[in-house]
Structure 1
Amino acid sequence: MTAAADTSSRPTVVRDADHPAPRLDGRLRDLLAGQKIVMTGVTGFIGEQLLWKILTELPDTRPSVLVRRKGSASARDRVVSLVKKAIFADVRDAAGGAEALVDARIEVIEGDLPNVPALPRDLDVLVHCAGDVSFDPPIDQAFTTNVVGTKALMERMIEACRDEDGRAVRVPHYVHISTAYTAGRRRGAIPEGPQEHSVDYAAETAAGLAMRELVEAESRMPDRLTTLRKEAERQHRRAGYLTTAADTERRRTEWVQAELVRAGTERARSLGWTDVYTFTKALGERVVADLGAEIRVSVVRPAIVESSWAHPYPGWIEGFKMAEPLILAYGRGELPEFPGSPDSVLDIVPCDLVVNAIIAVCATAPTVGRPEFYHVSSGARNPLTIAGIYELIRHYFTEHPLERTAKPGEPLPEWDFPGSSSVGRLLASSELAHSLAERLLARAPRSDRTRQAARSLDKFRRRLDFLRRYHGLYNEYAQSELHFVDDATLALTRSLHPDDVEAFAFDTAVYDWKTYIEDVHCPSITTSVRRMDALRNKRGSRPSTMKDLSKDTAGASAVAIFDLDGTIMSTNVVEQYLWSRLPELSPAGQVAEVGQVARRLPGYLLAEQRDRGDFLRAVYRRYRGLDLAELEHRVDTTMAPAILSRVSAEALERIEQHRAAGHTTILITGAVETLTRPLREYFDVIVAAQLATDADGRCTGFLARPPLVGESRAAWLKHYASLHGVDLTRSFAYADSHSDLPMLQTVGHPVAVSPDIPLMRAAGKSQWSIVAWKTKPSTPRWQIPR
């Protein structure tokens, strides 16, 4: 392709001796009139505002957007949803609605990177602002999007500008949106030009894409699977094999992702970049240079893009970007220190200035085969140091504190900037302290105090994970000594037509940081947080699955299934055994039996941790020789009041509410069926352990059928539902033990009752209700019901 083949009209470009970069001669709406601009990344942060700007300020420019299908939503559906957003209101209303706007102004191309479809043959400018913007994506994903996707897109663009014989008929302008941080771990001034490196992007891409297959294979090796399975078993063994297997696979998948992220980070740093994002973006620029030899190419390198300074309104932002999680964490009091250097420059640039710069670049005509580079940054002429932004953010939250903070009433942390190493050591020691506390917690008896300690530890763990992740991601950015030269960008902004300055200015020296941080950015990003805090305060601790049964309409199509021990009743199978056995023994025999049980108790506890079924079988062996008929008689005549005294009044009230709602009430327990006889008036169905007896009616020490524990309870419930037409999505389950996790997961309204720590954590993760049903037995626990 040669310049002579260019048949498209392009704007007049003026060059002067001091600023050789292209300059503008005329208004942008005139320079880009009639031009078709194909865009990628339009559903992203920069792309969305770029489309808005074209639609509102460039009435004669034709935008064409490449958007992928998402689930059942077509590309057009997604674009229609996009222009229904608030910022498009004026242009949407003027067009007569979202669909009318899309039909009249926007050409939609359904496709994805790197699977790029044919592009319009009349395209003039292609703006590529799609890309993986996460700093730590898996290595194969980063290469697929930022390198392979870029290559595929440029090839399609070049193809669209050739005729059937492969001859060039027009010279398009390719505008590549990169990042200023493709400079990597360099220091000092970074010119607006190609980054110097000798990395073979083809070889690195092949290796990066192959990494997933290698890591997937490693994750399936016996040693790795053994490690992951044992980790899962320690947490889920009591729930059952399938639950353990599912968690093992979850851990394997997470391990693969973590290894691919680590592979990307280490490869990038081994070659001089901070992370795989900047590494692959730098290689993407090399792809652009190689494929752009016969077209016009401009590379726009924004620094850290944050909320808008002025357009579409001050503080406009979509989602949280780089700085927002850290700012909010500080406002919550959860960021006690920061690893950055106080004198390092944090190069932030508002989104609208980036968009304005991109549009101005689109209106230029760079020399064919000579890429132009533009840094859209603030550090060169309006620097903001880490210490400076800290002071501004601290002042903002001091004047406008958040409602929900880590330590209500306490002042915000004061940073001393001790250095990355000191912060790293603090994190390591905190992680060790957390690990030791977890070990102690695992041995603590179940209680409200233990659960509260677990919640505090979980909050501490989340905080540590947050700090560790951001320490790894942003540590180098916060110690950066880069200086992005922006001479070409400054020359371009100074060449704006006077009538375009208000709408299209992108001079990063025109605003002051105090106004931007305290009056624009922080209020913008905290608005939704404050709204959610207010909603949580208004809603309080209202449970999510503890449904108000007075409004339930499921009727007989729903069941309410309850566990016994620890859920509705304060007892356990060992205590129940002593109730059953001791009354028939002499005082000396009672002492001996209690002593034997006490000696066996550690073994019982270990068996219970390994497998609930084995534990029950071990305890029920001790029933051998007991007269079952005599036990039934004692339960009905003398033991019933003591048994009922241990049932929670709150549990009975909930059971009655279910019965009033027309639900079938089910008790499912590992306790001996005989001991549940006093509860028959409360439950429509009782499923309990049945003791096998000999010809004389005495217990053999065995069960008549396997105990229903763990996953077998879920299987029983599903079978019962299929036989009786039960809608499990409208049904309820109540349990206290992690072994009942499969049963709770089977229904639509699971409730954890005074749960053990593993179940409490699972319930919290799934947003299930957690309730505490207190019991106050009328008889002391040591007293044997007679």
Structure 2
Amino acid sequence: MEFESISGNLKDKNILITGATGFVGKVLVEKILRVQPNVKKLYLLLRASDTNSAGKRMHNEITGKELFRVLREKWGADFDSFILEKVVPLSGDVIFEDLGVKVIKQKEEICNEVHIIINSAATTKFDERYDVALEVNTFGVLNMLDFAKKCLKLEMVVHVSTAYVCGERVGLILEDSSSMEEMAKKPSKFYLKSQEKKIVESKLKELQAQNASEEVITNAMKDLGTTRSKLYGWPNTYVLTKVMGEMYLGHAKGNLSIAIIRPTMITSTYKEPFSGWIEGFRTYDSLIGGYWKGKLTGIPVDPMSVVDMIPVDMVVNSIITAMVVNANKSGKIIYHVGTSLRNPLTFSDFNNFMFQYCTKNPWLNNDGSPVKVKKLKMLRSMDAFHLYMQIPLQALKFMNKEFDQYFQDVYVNYNRKVKSVKRLVDLYRAYLLFKGIFYDTNTEELRRIASENYTDAENFNFDPKCIDWEDYYMHTHIPGFAQHVVIKHSRSRL
């Protein structure tokens, strides 16, 4: 039997990537360029007014980042010319027809030459404006599919979704679309599109008629997203709009070969291109930051529940492997990429790792004094959490009757802190109290196929069993989070 390599399958390929400025997108771009310099072209769809602006954005938000230092060191003085030869910045946006690509020559080139489309464009804010989230996460998928059908040499479409399209299910969650069955029973595949679009347009017209300010409109559209999400049974706007995007993939894919990657909570790089790289506050990192600074002392979780996290480079490796293995195979396949089944991490252990790290490396206040932390109080319900947050507040309120203005100020400041912490926890409630375990039969089969048929499968590792959670959190993730996010964020606020 003649063995192939995964990287060899990328040689001379033209790949269109949406969402390349996102966390997963830029790690994906770096990996492809590093392992296969003979890739033909990477076309990166970027929101920009023109090609020049797209090029500047590509440099500022992708290739100019520290993430690319290994690749930059490898190519030295030739790095910029290598990027210029291999990477094409496209001015466009998934919310428009033909992905907003207006340069006719570029559009024709892509339609005639592209082999693979990787759709990772998304707005990931849990409380995003409903109109914005729909345009990108839902209708953007339809625009991508319509464009994909015009690509004459297309072998594969990979769509990056989220494992939490399952909603707030408990127990073993399969790699299927069963959580969407009720919504899928609607009479037309375009029912949701027309209905939700009309609801959004009606609300915007109502607000405009009231001469509402931009801030009022934004808050109203956020509230609308939350309302529609809860109506359909999903915890937030992000997940609902990703669910509808997946539904369109099933309805409108035609004969395309489609792989849906559903990662769980994505964390810093495990190994590649170097360990610990992360960008922005990634879900649970907001909790780590709040805890480290002494602002967060309790959360609603079951200590023995599983925290499902997966390093971003493993997610990228699964994307590349899936697109190679499934190329030119008509149909749709779903992959859960997480750790809850094969290498579970409990909240109790997560709490211990945070405590150990933040005790050994305390956060320093503005006056240089260290913040002393205790282990997070883990409360098993939202009611218990809200009661826990209110007890000190009521004590301060009582003291307020007996003491002077000092306690009035303490009460006001603490009340502000309580509201901030409650908002953070409310935002992540569904994930803190999540009781599901993600089944990954398809993903395990993908690993098996890769290991048995591709000589470089180890270079595209996405097996979570290799992760030592204590070592990863103590020596990789939290130090990386501190270096690449917390310190930079603190400096930017000086």
TM over 0.5: yes
Cα pair 2:351 2:376 within 8 Å, conserved: no
User: Matches of 1:36 and 1:355 in 2, distance apart?
Assistant: 17
Report the counterpart of residue 412 of structure 1 in structure 2: 374
Report the counterpart of residue 276 of structure 2 in structure 1: 315
- Corresponding residue to 1:522 among 478, 487, 491: 478
Count of matched residue pairs: 473
CA deviations 1:181-236 (Å, max 9, x no partner) are 111122222212233423146333334334444444554677xx9xxxxxxxxxxx
Report the counterpart of residue 8 of structure 2 in structure 1: 30
**Cα shift at 1:56:** 0.4
Q: Secondary structure at the match of 1:342?
A: coil
Q: Secondary structure at the match of 2:299?
A: coil
Report the counterpart of residue 511 of structure 1 in structure 2: 467
Report matched runs for 1:337-736 at 5 Å: 337-365=298-326, 368-404=329-365, 410-427=372-389, 454=409, 456=410, 459-497=413-451, 499-527=455-483, 531=487
Q: Secondary structure at the match of 1:311?
A: coil
Cα pair 2:51 2:91 within 8 Å, conserved: no
Report the counterpart of residue 65 of structure 1 in structure 2: 44
Report the counterpart of residue 162 of structure 2 in structure 1: 179
* 2:123 counterpart of 1:143: no
* Structure 1 gaps, min length 5: 1-11, 13-23, 162-169, 226-248, 537-764, 768-786
Q: Measured at CA, do residues 435 and 150 of structure 1 come closer, stay the same or move farther in structure 2, by a change above 3 Å?
A: farther
Report the counterpart of residue 55 of structure 2 in structure 1: 76
Q: Measured at CA, do residues 418 and 372 of structure 1 come closer, stay the same or move farther in structure 2, by a change above 3 Å?
A: closer
CA deviations 1:298-320 (Å, max 9, x no partner) are 11100100101111111111111
User: Matches of 1:516 and 1:392 in 2, distance apart?
Assistant: 10
**Cα shift at 1:367:** 6.6
Q: Which amino acid counterpart does residue 381 of structure 2 have in structure 1?
A: G
Cα pair 1:92 1:101 within 8 Å, conserved: no
Q: Measured at CA, do residues 468 and 255 of structure 1 come closer, stay the same or move farther in structure 2, by a change above 3 Å?
A: farther
CA deviations 1:329-374 (Å, max 9, x no partner) are 1111111210122222111000000000101011023675420111
* 2:289 counterpart of 1:328: yes
Cα pair 2:94 2:143 within 8 Å, conserved: yes
**Cα shift at 1:253:** 3.3
**Cα shift at 1:291:** 1.9
**Cα shift at 1:80:** 2.8
- Corresponding residue to 2:148 among 135, 146, 157: 157
User: Matches of 1:339 and 1:273 in 2, distance apart?
Assistant: 19
Query: Higher RCO, 1 or 2 (CA under 8 Å, sep at least 6)?
Result: 2
Q: Secondary structure at the match of 1:133?
A: coil
User: Matches of 2:249 and 2:490 in 1, distance apart?
Assistant: 49
**Cα shift at 1:478:** 1.1
* Structure 2 gaps, min length 5: 102-106
Q: Which amino acid counterpart does residue 149 of structure 1 have in structure 2?
A: G
Q: Measured at CA, do residues 531 and 277 of structure 1 come closer, stay the same or move farther in structure 2, by a change above 3 Å?
A: closer
Report the counterpart of residue 287 of structure 1 in structure 2: 248
TM-score, normalised to structure 1, is 0.55
Report the counterpart of residue 193 of structure 1 in structure 2: 176
Report the counterpart of residue 197 of structure 2 in structure 1: 209
Q: Secondary structure at the match of 1:256?
A: helix
User: Matches of 1:291 and 1:262 in 2, distance apart?
Assistant: 30
CA deviations 1:55-79 (Å, max 9, x no partner) are 0001222322111216996112212
Report the counterpart of residue 71 of structure 2 in structure 1: 91
Report the counterpart of residue 101 of structure 1 in structure 2: 82
**Cα shift at 1:129:** 0.7
CA deviations 1:353-400 (Å, max 9, x no partner) are 000010101102367542011111100110112222111111111222
Report matched runs for 1:107-146 at 5 Å: 107-115=88-96, 116=99, 117=101, 118=107, 119-146=110-137
CA deviations 1:231-279 (Å, max 9, x no partner) are xxxxxxxxxxxxxxxxxx7xx4333322322221222122221212111
Aligned-residue identity in percent: 24
Cα pair 1:95 1:101 within 8 Å, conserved: no
Cα pair 2:298 2:376 within 8 Å, conserved: yes
Report the counterpart of residue 582 of structure 1 in structure 2: none
Cα pair 2:15 2:116 within 8 Å, conserved: yes
Cα pair 2:299 2:376 within 8 Å, conserved: no
Cα pair 1:38 1:66 within 8 Å, conserved: yes
Q: Measured at CA, do residues 111 and 535 of structure 1 come closer, stay the same or move farther in structure 2, by a change above 3 Å?
A: closer
**Cα shift at 1:126:** 0.3
Cα pair 2:111 2:150 within 8 Å, conserved: no
**Cα shift at 1:404:** 2.2
User: Matches of 1:534 and 1:217 in 2, distance apart?
Assistant: 40
Cα pair 2:292 2:371 within 8 Å, conserved: no
Cα pair 2:45 2:89 within 8 Å, conserved: yes
Greater per-residue helix proportion: 2
Q: Secondary structure at the match of 1:34?
A: coil
Q: Measured at CA, do residues 274 and 352 of structure 1 come closer, stay the same or move farther in structure 2, by a change above 3 Å?
A: same
User: Matches of 2:490 and 2:423 in 1, distance apart?
Assistant: 28
**Cα shift at 1:288:** 0.9
CA deviations 1:688-726 (Å, max 9, x no partner) are xxxxxxxxxxxxxxxxxxxxxxxxxxxxxxxxxxxxxxx
Q: Which amino acid counterpart does residue 105 of structure 1 have in structure 2?
A: K
Q: Say which is worse superposed, 465-474 or 346-355, in terms of deviation.
A: 465-474
* 2:37 counterpart of 1:54: no
Report the counterpart of residue 42 of structure 1 in structure 2: 20
Q: Which amino acid counterpart does residue 347 of structure 2 have in structure 1?
A: I
Indicate the RMSD between aligned Cα atoms, in angstroms.
3.4
User: Matches of 1:105 and 1:69 in 2, distance apart?
Assistant: 20
Q: Which amino acid counterpart does residue 470 of structure 2 have in structure 1?
A: K
CA deviations 1:648-667 (Å, max 9, x no partner) are xxxxxxxxxxxxxxxxxxxx
Q: Say which is worse superposed, 181-190 or 66-75, in terms of deviation.
A: 66-75
Q: Measured at CA, do residues 198 and 276 of structure 1 come closer, stay the same or move farther in structure 2, by a change above 3 Å?
A: same
Q: Measured at CA, do residues 356 and 453 of structure 1 come closer, stay the same or move farther in structure 2, by a change above 3 Å?
A: same
Report the counterpart of residue 713 of structure 1 in structure 2: none
Which structure would you say has the larger Rg? Answer: 1
**Cα shift at 1:435:** 9.5
Cα pair 2:291 2:373 within 8 Å, conserved: no
Report the counterpart of residue 556 of structure 1 in structure 2: none
User: Matches of 1:219 and 1:434 in 2, distance apart?
Assistant: 40
Q: Which amino acid counterpart does residue 84 of structure 1 have in structure 2?
A: G
**Cα shift at 1:528:** 5.2
Cα pair 2:257 2:326 within 8 Å, conserved: yes
Q: Say which is worse superposed, 37-46 or 101-110, in terms of deviation.
A: 101-110
Report the counterpart of residue 104 of structure 2 in structure 1: none
Q: Secondary structure at the match of 1:297?
A: strand
Cα pair 1:80 1:98 within 8 Å, conserved: no
Q: Secondary structure at the match of 1:363?
A: helix
Cα pair 1:189 1:485 within 8 Å, conserved: yes
TM-score, normalised to structure 2, is 0.86
Q: Secondary structure at the match of 1:382?
A: coil
